[in-house]
Structure 1
Amino acid sequence: MRIKYLIVGAGMSGLAFANFIDSDDYLILERDSEIGGWCKTVKKEGFVWDYSGHFFHFKHPDIEAYLRKRMPDDEVSTVEKSSKIRYKDALIDFPFQKNIHQLAKDDFIECLYDLFFRDEVAASFDASSFKGMLYEKFGRGISEKFLVPYNEKLYACDLEELDRGAMGRFFPFADIEEIVRNMRRPDNASYNATFTYPKNGAIMYVNALASEVDESKIWLDQALVNVDLNRKIATLSDGRTIGFDHLISSAPFDRLLPICGVEPEPGVFSYNKVLCFNLGFDKKGIEGVHWIYFPEKKYSFYRVGFYDNILAGASGGKGDDAAGSRMSLYVELGYEKDAEVDVEAAKAQVLADLEAAGVIDGHILVADHHVVLDPAYVHITEDSQAAFDELSSMLSLCGVETIGRYGGWTYCSIEDNIVEARALAAKFNTLEALDSKD
């Protein structure tokens, strides 16, 4: 069997490529028993949960329209974000650096003073690192009260290991003028100031893409175990072999390499993993907030999201039972990539921490679900970028293209994955059109 386009991964990237490639000569391999990758949705006891929080911030109206056209008319609504930071038992607005005036007086003065005299400490850190960038831009107070501890919990690593631009456009920068102006004229807009969310979960966007793909061309429970780059032959977990002209992979890059017979330098591709709990409680709790960031080490989690508030916002306050009378949470904990995750111990600690934080108070847990995202956030470093550029170029010469957050070893949005997959498909479509003219 030979296929022109062998697509590895039935997540957003792989399905998007299948949508936009003009050829019908493709096949999608998915190692899981369901499509969607980390965009799966779980429904349990009336609660609607995703594999962690997935909220969509479309910058390309044509892509949003493409997806919406393939979904029920009333499925998606736009929500104006309300996000908070819990700091010293108080909730302040996100982003922290633009809302230091909401802190207690002593903390505010410390942050403002350190902001103006940030050059005094910036020289102590490597300016090319993510940590060095934080001290350079915001000084010691803002960095040490929120930016450093929060991101250390998120990435589960020393921030000096990450590149200065590890978060790209997703980091909420603010200069001194913006910070001071925000004290009188609040403007906390960011790249995700508004977001869209389907009432039946993120899987609805996945299903929109899947609706344009022939089901017979998606092979579930089929992992890629070997690729012969010279002969362009892929071996599957069931022992079958498939020849290909082009292999389009959204699989984690560090795991694709040995499958292709390429061994990278040890440790060059690092990442964290995230344990996400979805928790359903018998009654409502905090109202109106969509998610809260927890930088302090006394809490095991770094972020808690409120699906009941999100779904209420996305349905005009007329959501289902989970969005109406009960509280529905996602709770995220970061781990080093090699750490062992004790789910039951973590769950007990999460429930204790939620109570200590005032998120639950006499609530009864009526439903729960968990998933370990492995990988979750890749660690972008100078070495990883150089290695990726070199090795992905080598694979491309052999007919293998790597895309998506993990295939491209980058920090990006779900829309970015669709944009990238569409661009790659357009390149192949153009080449096919030119070949047909010859």
Structure 2
Amino acid sequence: MNTVRCKHLIIGGGVSGLMFANENKEKDILLVEKEKELGGYCRTIHQDGFIWDYAGHFFHFSNDEIKKFFQGKISNDSLVYKKKVTNIFYKDNVIDFPFQTNIHQLDKSDFIDCLYDLFFKEEKEDYESFLDMLYGKFGRSITEMFLKPYNEKLYACDLNKLDQDAMGRFFPYANLEQIIKSFKKEYQGSYNATFLYPKNGAKVFVDALAEDIPSSKILMNEKVISVDVERKCVVTDKREIFYEFLINTMPLNLLLESIDKKSHQNFTSKLSWNKVLVFNLGFNKSSKFDDVHWAYFPEGKYNFYRVGFYNNILDHERLSLYVEIGCSPESTVDEQSALDKVLQGLRQAGIIDETHQLQSYCSIVMNPAYVHVDSQLHIRKEEIKSQLESVGVYTVGRYGDWKYCSIEDSMLDAISVSKKLEFL
């Protein structure tokens, strides 16, 4: 078997791995990517005149270092800037997101129920689960009308099994005062009230990250088989790679299994996640919903939880959608049946009608898609990460660090590790 050596070996060519490689492009690095294309889930499909990503990726860069990097690579005229417009389809009505700050847009009886339960909710210092937190902070009606059914569809699991802080800073919390203020003034609590998006899809950011990395330092179509942390050697399906430092971005459970499946089994067996089936759909004409960027669907009559409108973001004429369906990891999905239900749901919601013709589509399964954060496992996870770092292994990003975070957070993780290793 072919043998190579490097100082920094990077597993995974998503945004985390590419950012680390970019920070160290002048050094002795190698990046191993199992797919034939870089980007991980930030890949873009160009098909029949439609532009689709693997799922909805919207960019909200707030870090100056990240902003400066992309401003130097991507011209402003290749991006669109939007003030976010997001809706919820509920009981044949369309209301603004988030649900809890827009209950005044509901039918009168539902509004009264939500306001009453919100006022008389029973808050606690500590909550036993994500669902317990929802009831405690928002009351029965808001929880059961939207928060519970929507998140059950998203996470594809019993919400009692999710940690109360499963979404961290990304959950749109609001207290009674904020909710009542929103009756007359638009809610301002979102972390991403505006966003930017590349006219040619999310891959524009990936291309910017990869632009200055020599092709000789990237190994494509190469799968990691095992990791020997004592010998500091990664075995792929093509070669052995000896390293000084290993930067991992593949899912944490897969990394640990590739090192020693038995010794970490007690930890990895407790990790949970869901997968997401994404349909990208292109139609012959626009929809009457010509301003919304993405929308949420809590009701069980829809098999999807979210729909995004690429054409409204990119100002294209033909309706171009991504539709997301949450699934448990072990579930098998009949994609044709799921697509039929999607089209039925889109018609029921009024997004398409009998004159819309499906001109092009593709499906993607993201597995894992959302990792399920568990604070009880967090201490053990940090212990494992510390042990790995003691032998030169650093694991970063949403999946490598097994956390709920943004694309920018993942890149900042990589920069942080790069700085830590700068003088080693």
Same fold per superposition (TM over 0.5): yes
Distance 2:145 2:66 in 1: 39
Matched residue of 1:376: which SS? strand
Distance 1:183 1:305 in 2: 26
Q: Name the residue aligned to 2:366.
A: 373
Match of 2:104 among 95, 101, 105: 101
Q: Name the residue aligned to 1:68.
A: 71
1:81 matched to 2:73:
no
Match of 2:357 among 341, 359, 364: 364
Does the Cα contact within 8 Å between 1:226 and 1:235 map onto a contact in 2?
A: yes
Matched residue of 1:287: which SS? coil
Q: Name the residue aligned to 1:181.
A: 181
Q: Name the residue aligned to 1:318.
A: none
1:60: Cα distance to partner?
1.0
Q: Name the residue aligned to 2:148.
A: 148
Q: Name the residue aligned to 1:282.
A: 284
Does the Cα contact within 8 Å between 1:273 and 1:373 map onto a contact in 2?
A: yes
Match of 2:382 among 366, 378, 389: 389
Q: Name the residue aligned to 1:24.
A: 27
Does the Cα contact within 8 Å between 2:25 and 2:214 map onto a contact in 1?
A: no
Distance 2:377 2:293 in 1: 34
Please give the TM-score of this superposition, normalised by the length of structure 1.
Answer: 0.93
Q: Name the residue aligned to 1:256.
A: 255
Does the Cα contact within 8 Å between 2:25 and 2:212 map onto a contact in 1?
A: no
Distance 1:297 1:376 in 2: 21
Does the Cα contact within 8 Å between 1:277 and 1:369 map onto a contact in 2?
A: yes
Stretch moving more, 22-31 or 145-154: 22-31
Distance 2:204 2:152 in 1: 32
The one-letter code matched in structure 1 to 2:70 is L
Residue identity over aligned pairs, in percent, reads: 48
Q: Name the residue aligned to 1:246.
A: 245
Distance 2:147 2:204 in 1: 33
Does the Cα contact within 8 Å between 2:157 and 2:328 map onto a contact in 1?
A: yes
Please give the TM-score of this superposition, normalised by the length of structure 2.
Answer: 0.96
Q: Deviations over 1:178-217 (max 9, x none)?
A: 0001101222441111001000000000000001211111
> Aligned Cα RMSD in Å?
1.4
Does the Cα contact within 8 Å between 1:9 and 1:249 map onto a contact in 2?
A: yes
1:23: Cα distance to partner?
4.9
Q: Deviations over 1:76-106 (max 9, x none)?
A: 1211000000110100000100000000000
Q: Name the residue aligned to 1:316.
A: none
Q: Name the residue aligned to 2:412.
A: 419
The one-letter code matched in structure 2 to 1:254 is N
Q: Deviations over 1:193-243 (max 9, x none)?
A: 1001000000000000001211111100111111111111110012x1011
The one-letter code matched in structure 1 to 2:152 is E
Stretch moving more, 383-392 or 96-105: 383-392
Matched residue of 1:225: which SS? strand
Distance 2:47 2:207 in 1: 19
Q: Deviations over 1:383-416 (max 9, x none)?
A: 4323322222222212111000000100000011
Does the Cα contact within 8 Å between 1:198 and 1:204 map onto a contact in 2?
A: yes
Q: Name the residue aligned to 2:165.
A: 165
Distance 1:35 1:96 in 2: 37
Q: How does 1:282-321 map to 2 (within 5 A)?
A: 282-285=284-287, 286-312=289-315
1:68: Cα distance to partner?
2.5
Does the Cα contact within 8 Å between 2:172 and 2:189 map onto a contact in 1?
A: no
Stretch moving more, 252-261 or 20-29: 20-29
Matched residue of 1:396: which SS? helix
Distance 1:71 1:188 in 2: 29
The one-letter code matched in structure 2 to 1:284 is S
Distance 1:212 1:13 in 2: 15
Matched residue of 1:334: which SS? strand
Q: Deviations over 1:236-268 (max 9, x none)?
A: 012x10111111010000111110114332631
Stretch moving more, 346-355 or 80-89: 346-355
Distance 2:75 2:236 in 1: 36
1:358: Cα distance to partner?
1.0
Q: Name the residue aligned to 2:94.
A: 91
Distance 1:243 1:184 in 2: 62
Distance 2:109 2:60 in 1: 36
Does the Cα contact within 8 Å between 1:378 and 1:409 map onto a contact in 2?
A: yes
Distance 1:61 1:247 in 2: 27
Stretch moving more, 294-303 or 347-356: 347-356
Match of 1:328 among 320, 335, 339: 320
Q: Name the residue aligned to 2:203.
A: 203
Distance 2:259 2:190 in 1: 40
Matched residue of 2:265: which SS? coil
Distance 2:319 2:205 in 1: 24
Distance 1:126 1:64 in 2: 37
Distance 1:336 1:282 in 2: 33
1:22: Cα distance to partner?
6.6
Does the Cα contact within 8 Å between 1:98 and 1:188 map onto a contact in 2?
A: no
Aligned residues, how many?
A: 416
The one-letter code matched in structure 1 to 2:204 is M
1:232 matched to 2:232:
yes
Unaligned 5+ runs, structure 1: 313-322, 433-438
Q: Name the residue aligned to 1:213.
A: 213
